[in-house]
Amino acid sequence: MSLRFGTVHSALDLRAEGKRADVFAFTHSDNRYGFSSIQSPLAVICGGEGPTALVCGGNHGDEYEGQIIVRRLFEMLEASDLNGRLILAPSLNMPAVQSVSRTSPLDGGNLNRSFTGLAFAGPTQDIAGFVTTHLISEADLAIDIHSGGKISNYLDTAYFCLSGDPAQNAQTRELSCVMGLPYTMVVPASDTNGDFDSKAHAVGCAMISCELGGEAKVSLQSLERGWHGVLRLLVHQGVLRAQAAERLGMPPSPQTTFIDLGENVQYVTAQSYGMMEPLVCLGDRVAKGQALMQLRDLYKMDATPQVLTSACEGIVSIVRTTPIVTPGDHLCVICPELSSEGLEAQIAAATT
């Protein structure tokens, strides 16, 4: 029996034991695709009774570490390596992947803002609805892997998306520690409407997402950190046998540092047109008042560069990759480090 939502469908059997690869596909009538089926790969490895994990990449089309990690899982694992089931979707938004774009060229949709549950509302929302109805609904754990894309570069960081549910917060905190990326960004509840994380949490699925590098490139260091983190999560969930993870070189979880992407974060933002010159590097710890960026006028050689400084102590957590900027463009983000007490306070505030 095929899986369907809106225009999206797949013939892949997600329940039978074994290892299978197919596609999910949808139709879209325009000048290019009026007589086509637009396809994205979808696979399942089922080792029998046990929990299910869904691992996704390509939510945004210009982010690559996740796409590689998901494909690696299919290439390197067999059904005998699993206690449960692994559903793999390496390129969720294939039109965006093909166009090397954050958003879909078909309807301008950002897939990670489109998990609203509407059918026949355009390609992007139909994909999101298919993922929610037929993939997330099958999973005990969902892992959505991102990077900074063409416009930005991130620390290798997991997301701890806060909610009003204490049990859910405890679960996500544990998952971020198991994943063991160098940093974990603590994000306020309901920070982003229509995203994958919120939808998974709303239907009761454990959820972790992350950022691995950026610049629309593949960083070997970020790739390996993400790969090991995903293996640890799958073992922790009871989906992947420990022996298989050891065969693939999984190390123990390093300690993660929690940083604040909430009300204490500083977005360093251009208020004029210009050319950005960085004065700090991604991952630098900076002091309050420290110079972060210079912004030069594009046309006036005799204009004094504008120096932008840090309003707080913290870590340079995200940096812009394109130096020509316009008013409103973020140049970098300074995230304060959270102490154990600070983290507990944020978790408590989210549940009151």
What's the CA gap between 108 and 114, in Å, rounded?
A: 11
37 vs 179 pLDDT, higher one: 179
pLDDT at 1: 59
**Residue ranges of domains in the chain:** 3-260, 266-335
pLDDT at 244: 97
Mean pLDDT of the chain: 95
Which two structure tokens, joined as six digits, stand for 194?
């229509």
Q: What mean pLDDT do residues 213-240 have? A: 97
pLDDT reading at 230 higher than 80: yes
Q: What's the CATH code, domain 3-260?
A: 3.40.630.10
CB 97 within 8 A of CB 89: no
What's the CA gap between 200 and 285, in Å, rounded?
A: 33
Cβ atoms within 10 Å of 242's Cβ, excluding its own: 11
Q: What mean pLDDT do residues 91-113 have? A: 96
What residues contact 157, with CB distance under 8 A and at least 6 apart?
Answer: 181, 182, 183, 184, 185, 210, 211, 259, 317
Cα angle vertex 52, ends 48, 57, to 5°? 125
User: What beta strand segments (E) does the chain contain?
Assistant: 3-5, 8-10, 18-26, 38-46, 52-56, 85-89, 141-146, 152-161, 183-187, 206-214, 257-260, 266-269, 274-278, 285-286, 291-296, 306-309, 314-320, 324-325, 330-335
What's the CA gap between 180 and 68, in Å, rounded?
A: 19
CA end-to-end span of the chain? 45
Going by C-alpha positions, the residue among 277, 311, 319 that lies closest to residue 297 is 277
pLDDT at 178: 98
pLDDT at 28: 85
pLDDT at 117: 78
pLDDT band per the 50, 70, 90 thresholds, residue 34: confident
Q: β-strand 306-309 against 330-335: which pairing, if any?
A: unpaired
Cα angle vertex 225, ends 224, 229, to 5°? 115
> What is the architecture, at CATH level 2, of domain 266-335?
Beta Barrel (2.40)
What residues contact 325, with CB distance under 8 A and at least 6 apart?
Answer: 270, 273, 274, 275, 276, 295, 331
pLDDT at 116: 87
Lowest mean pLDDT, pick from 60-64, 264-268, 279-283, 348-352: 348-352
Q: What mean pLDDT do residues 47-73 have? A: 97
Q: β-strand 266-269 against 206-214: which pairing, if any?
A: unpaired
pLDDT reading at 217 higher than 90: yes
pLDDT at 189: 81
Q: What mean pLDDT do residues 334-350 have? A: 95
Q: Is 216 left (phi over 0), alpha (psi -120 to 50) or beta?
A: left
Q: Mind listing the pLDDT tens digit for each residue in 285-297?
A: 999 999 999 999 9
**Within a 13 Å sphere around the CA of 283, how many CA atoms are in the beta-carbon half?**
7
- The predicted model scores a pTM of 0.96
pLDDT at 160: 97
Q: Mind listing the pLDDT tens digit for each residue in 155-202?
A: 999 999 999 999 999 999 999 999 999 999 999 986 677 899 999 999
pLDDT at 302: 96
How much of the chain exceeds pLDDT 70, in percent?
A: 99
According to DSSP, the residues that pair with 85 across neighbouring strands are 46, 52
Going by C-alpha positions, the residue among 240, 77, 245, 252 that lies closest to residue 178 is 252
